[in-house]
Amino acid sequence: MDTPEEKRDRCTYLNCLWFCMYNNECFRDRVLTWIKKENIFSKTYVFVPIVMWSHWYLLIMCHFGESLKSGTRTPCMLLLDSLRALDPMRLEPLIRSFVVDIFETQDRHENIKLINDIPLLVPEVAMSSSMNVYK
């Protein structure tokens, strides 16, 4: 059984400003350099907070250290959106560009088609009734 420290070492998170900054051409290279230091391909889960259109999302990159051709642990991405009022899939082109650049920055030379085939799933996220301000 893993210790709490071992479990913690399998995860990392990115700064909540980085995704937004990445989408500004002036900061893109700097953000990718910062991400490279996080060594995300050695982590099981990478949490990427996204703030777009005055709304928070959470992108979770799962098993990115695994082979994209793996039959057992296939990398995937989960995009969590508690409101679902805005179409979360409109973030997909930005997320896909972000992921391709991360792979290239990390000297992972996988086929871009394989990278773009990583599933982006948007599971339903239930809000607690005590947090539902729209009652």
Q: What is the pTM of this model?
A: 0.85
Which pLDDT score is estimated for 131?
54
Which pLDDT score is estimated for 45?
95
Which pLDDT score is estimated for 135?
46
**DSSP-assigned letter for residue 126:** P
Which pLDDT score is estimated for 33?
95
Which pLDDT score is estimated for 128?
61
d(CA 79, CA 9): 22
Handedness of CA 29, 35, 40, 45 (dihedral sign): negative
φ, ψ (nearest 5 deg) of residue 91:
-80, -15
Which pLDDT score is estimated for 99?
95
Which pLDDT score is estimated for 111?
83
Token pair, residue 39, equals 């060594």
Which parts of the chain have pLDDT scores under 50?
134-135
Handedness of CA 64, 66, 69, 71 (dihedral sign): negative
User: What domains, with CATH codes, occur in the chain?
Assistant: 4-121 (3.30.310.130)
